[in-house]
Structure 1
Amino acid sequence: MKIRSIVLSLLASSVLASGVMANEDKNNLSLSTNPVPLSTAVSSEFYEFSKTIPAPDLTALEKNIPATNAEWRKMIEARDQVAIERAAKLANDLEVKIEKGTVAGVGVYWITPKTVAPELEDKLFVAVQGGAYMLNSGLASATEAMLIATQTQIPALAIDYRKAPEFPAPAARNDIINVWKELLKTRNADTMVMGGTSAGGSLSVLATQEMNSQRIATPSALYVGTPGVDMTMTGDSRFINEGLDHILGSWRGMSSAMVDAYVGELELNDPVVSPIYGSFDNFPAVYLITGTRDLLLSDTVRLHRELKRAGADAELNVYEGQSHADYIVALGTPESNEHYGELSEFIRNSLL
């Protein structure tokens, strides 16, 4: 105890000597108001990309929030239309074959890349697209699936799950489970990898927890990109990266409103919507990715630690200077290429 007191005393002296004033509120620290420049510890391509993205307007994010389902629907349809057009262009650029269908009554898109590796012909990547549990319906639900299918040379299935506000939790998770059960009727679980980004990542985790709860075989591996695994305002990055993340901007305002619509009548910390509070026993290998400016950096880090504590093989990839899901937004940059290349290798190693 004496040694600990000496160490604490030295630390306190060091802080005061550096000119940093102590905060009277021991539970809350104030962040510096100094401007944060773009990181130069990134590729020149990513740096130039970052220069084109405006800083988030935090004031705007707290205004013009839809108040009714009709207002939400108007906003969602406008955003989805843009996303669908981009997905159609991506499909054309990548020369992938896409077939729309249903599995267990759930809308899906079967994706065949231009080239399928012979050893992966009987394998499948099951994609769960992100979009704040509200966005990216229709062809937009196949966006990241097309990228992964092409890079890995593997067939993919994108699940167009039901979304808020009309269908709050656990509708999306249940759709994924129903599709998974149907797939298991014709193929083994170890021939499939599941995953996605943002809401797609967290839903993949939720679905795997539910599979374990129902004693259903789980995927060979999971891809979990910058997931929101805690619906409460918890984690350092929710505060530190507010205003730095040029994709999400802030957890307050629009993001919180979308979360509330998804959570519905459940509590924010209910494991049905916040998987960080659930069990991670018997999880397959997991590939995680985030960035130093990601509002959900803490979510990803916390998930990685819970997986490791439960004995899972979890790989955490953190990219300098990246905001939420920048690896998708900044396609073609060395960082994005590196991510999808390493993810492809992870998927292949999990299946072969």
Structure 2
Amino acid sequence: MKTRHIVISLITASIVSTGALAKVDKNNLSLSTYPVPLSSAVSDEFYAFSCRVPAPDIAALQENIPSNSEEWRAFIESRDKPAIKRAETLAQQLGVTIEKDSIAGVDVYWVTPKTVAPELKDKLLVAIQGGAYLLNSGLASTIEASMIATHMQIPAIAIDYSKAPDFPAPAARNDIIKVWNELLKTRSAENMVMGGSSAGGSLSLVVTQALNKQKIPTPAALYSGTPGVDMTMTGDSRFINEGLDHILGSWRGLSSAMVDAYVGELHHSDPVVSPINGSFDNFPPVYLITGTRDLLLSDTVRLHRALKRAGSVAELNVYEGQSHADYAIAYGTPESQEHYQALSEFFYGYLVK
């Protein structure tokens, strides 16, 4: 051990003695301007998908930001309309049955796949949709629920929680907890799993942290797909993947404005909105997924370490060349199929024993 420390000290001394780094401000380094081509280390299908998706317009993302309630409503409607259409088309393609309901005053959708595995007929996926805490209301809240339910052959319930800017945090979290408590009246927590992508992944974490505080049974396992666990501009990928992530594009500008609407009067570092600052003690097993071009790659990596340090089971999956939640957007590609199959197997292992 002593020899190792001597070697490390010698290497450090050698680097410093060259003066190569001595005059450089390491908090103000710039990224190389060398072009970054699309990764060819992916399936042909995913490469073709990546070619079709437009590159992000960083300037537009920092300029075209809604400034009042009317503009936010117009923005949300422009995004939700095509998302609802996609949900309808997807349900038809997969043969999924969707029924709207209300639980504890919260709109929900029961999602039943064409085939339900006999051993999962009494189990339930509690799906929390993404959408930057503002988007994917109504039927759009069922999109990923339909995907997972079909792959896993499990009944699901998609919670259409309250959205910002009309209902900032912790409204979304509280809605999910209300539904969860009602579900516990007729079901066992060990027979339910919970999760989703992006905001859905983050909300699943803050909900579980709140349940633990209130000593309420938590889901048997969680799915946190590329979650935003820190509402501040923190983490390498927020900087490195700006302009590479063709879904989010940049944390600065529109993404930050949507986050501000969600955070409301809370501090951005409050664990209620930034679960990385909360406790991960007594957490159920968590399945994580991100990509090398994901703006929230660092969030997912930091979450994985926090869970491991707390002694929780955490499975981290990182896909080459993928931007934020590409696995859901590029549904049907080999990478997407691989992810949803792996997630299904992960959940299955904690529901069927």
**TM-score range normalised by the length of the shorter chain:** over 0.9
TM-score w.r.t. structure 1 length?
0.96
User: Which residue of structure 1 lines up, in the alignment, with residue 34 of structure 2?
Assistant: 34
User: Which residue of structure 2 lines up, in the alignment, with residue 303 of structure 1?
Assistant: 303
Question: 1:328-343 counterparts in 2 under 5 A?
Answer: 328-343=328-343
User: Which residue of structure 2 lines up, in the alignment, with residue 348 of structure 1?
Assistant: 348
Contact 1:23 1:30 in 2 (8 A): no
Is 1:141 the counterpart of 2:141? The answer is: yes
Return 5+ residue gaps in structure 1 as ranges: none
The superposition leaves residues 233-284 of structure 1 with CA deviations (integer Å, 9 ceiling, x where unpaired) of: 0000000000000000000000000000000011100001000000000000
Against the structure 1 CA distance between its residues 51 and 6, is the aligned structure 2 distance closer, same or farther, given a 3 Å change threshold? same
Report the alpha carbon displacement of residue 22 of structure 1 after superposing the two structures with TM.
6.8
Report the alpha carbon displacement of residue 13 of structure 1 after superposing the two structures with TM.
7.1
Cα distance in structure 2, aligned partners of 1:47 and 1:190: 39
What SS does the corresponding residue of 1:248 show, helix, strand or coil? coil
Against the structure 1 CA distance between its residues 45 and 13, is the aligned structure 2 distance closer, same or farther, given a 3 Å change threshold? farther
Cα distance in structure 1, aligned partners of 2:18 and 2:245: 31
Contact 1:99 1:109 in 2 (8 A): yes
Report the alpha carbon displacement of residue 27 of structure 1 after superposing the two structures with TM.
2.0
User: Which residue of structure 1 lines up, in the alignment, with residue 154 of structure 2?
Assistant: 154
The amino acid that maps onto 1:51 is: C
Cα distance in structure 2, aligned partners of 1:234 and 1:32: 20
User: Which residue of structure 2 lines up, in the alignment, with residue 180 of structure 1?
Assistant: 180
User: Which residue of structure 1 lines up, in the alignment, with residue 273 of structure 2?
Assistant: 273
Cα distance in structure 1, aligned partners of 2:26 and 2:293: 25
Cα distance in structure 1, aligned partners of 2:23 and 2:56: 28
Contact 1:237 1:295 in 2 (8 A): yes
Is 1:8 the counterpart of 2:15? The answer is: no
Identity in percent: 72
What SS does the corresponding residue of 2:251 show, helix, strand or coil? coil
Question: 1:155-170 counterparts in 2 under 5 A?
Answer: 155-170=155-170
Against the structure 1 CA distance between its residues 160 and 23, is the aligned structure 2 distance closer, same or farther, given a 3 Å change threshold? farther
TM-score w.r.t. structure 2 length?
0.96
RMSD over equivalenced CA pairs, Å: 1.4
The amino acid that maps onto 1:195 is: G
Return 5+ residue gaps in structure 2 as ranges: none
Cα distance in structure 2, aligned partners of 1:15 and 1:194: 52
Against the structure 1 CA distance between its residues 15 and 313, is the aligned structure 2 distance closer, same or farther, given a 3 Å change threshold? farther
Question: 1:112-151 counterparts in 2 under 5 A?
Answer: 112-151=112-151
Report the alpha carbon displacement of residue 345 of structure 1 after superposing the two structures with TM.
0.6
Cα distance in structure 2, aligned partners of 1:13 and 1:127: 55
Against the structure 1 CA distance between its residues 193 and 24, is the aligned structure 2 distance closer, same or farther, given a 3 Å change threshold? same
Contact 1:223 1:287 in 2 (8 A): yes
Contact 2:129 2:159 in 1 (8 A): yes
Contact 2:16 2:22 in 1 (8 A): no
Against the structure 1 CA distance between its residues 93 and 22, is the aligned structure 2 distance closer, same or farther, given a 3 Å change threshold? farther
Cα distance in structure 1, aligned partners of 2:336 and 2:303: 22
Contact 1:168 1:262 in 2 (8 A): yes
User: Which residue of structure 2 lines up, in the alignment, with residue 59 of structure 1?
Assistant: 59
Cα distance in structure 2, aligned partners of 1:93 and 1:11: 59
Report the alpha carbon displacement of residue 29 of structure 1 after superposing the two structures with TM.
1.6
User: Which residue of structure 2 lines up, in the alignment, with residue 24 of structure 1?
Assistant: 24
Against the structure 1 CA distance between its residues 155 and 25, is the aligned structure 2 distance closer, same or farther, given a 3 Å change threshold? same
The superposition leaves residues 159-205 of structure 1 with CA deviations (integer Å, 9 ceiling, x where unpaired) of: 00000000000000000000000000001000000000000000000
Against the structure 1 CA distance between its residues 23 and 91, is the aligned structure 2 distance closer, same or farther, given a 3 Å change threshold? farther
User: Which residue of structure 1 lines up, in the alignment, with residue 313 of structure 2?
Assistant: 313
User: Which residue of structure 2 lines up, in the alignment, with residue 193 of structure 1?
Assistant: 193
What SS does the corresponding residue of 1:145 show, helix, strand or coil? helix
Cα distance in structure 2, aligned partners of 1:14 and 1:241: 31
